[in-house]
């Protein structure tokens, strides 16, 4: 539950209006693309990293982990109707 911090110098109506404006802004945020590793709506990609031969640094992610909030088959990330 959202708690509204006390601000004695600011009227409750002004705080409520500010919170509504922020809620509207957050609801208008769109998902990032299908190959994203982060989305403002769904969060971080948790797919395993991809390593190539003779390289110690990951070169991306598999983008197909069944538990990933972005790339699982049950995720609504990047669907037109979800974001």
Assess if residue 39 is contained within a domain: yes
Rounded CA separation 1/7 (Å):
18
pLDDT single digits (tens) 6-31: 667 778 888 888 888 877 776 667 77
44 contacts 54 by C-beta, under 8 angstroms:
no
Mean pLDDT of the chain: 79
Q: Evaluate whether residue 9 is within a structural domain.
A: no
Match 């208008």 to its residue by tokens: 28
pLDDT at 29: 72
Q: Is residue 67 part of a domain?
A: yes
| Residue 22 located in a structural domain | no
Task: Give 12: exposed, middle or buried? Use CB within 10 Å, 0-12, 13-18, 19+.
Answer: exposed
Query: What are the tens digits of pLDDT across the range 53-80?
Result: 888 888 888 888 999 998 888 888 766 5
Q: Are 65 and 46 in contact (CB under 8 A)?
A: yes
How many domains does the chain divide into? 1
In this structure, is residue 20 part of a structural domain?
A: no
Domain of 69 in residue numbering reads as 32-83
């Amino acid at each position: 539950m959202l708690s509204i911090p006390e601000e004695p110098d600011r009227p409750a109506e002004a705080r409520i209006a500010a919170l509504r404006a922020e809620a509207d802004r957050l609801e208008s945020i769109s998902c990032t693309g299908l190959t994203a590793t982060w989305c403002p709506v769904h969060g971080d990609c948790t797919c395993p990293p991809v390593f190539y031969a003779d390289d110690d640094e990951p070169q991306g992610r598999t983008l197909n982990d069944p538990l990933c909030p972005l790339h699982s088959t049950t995720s609504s990330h990047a669907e037109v109707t979800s974001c």
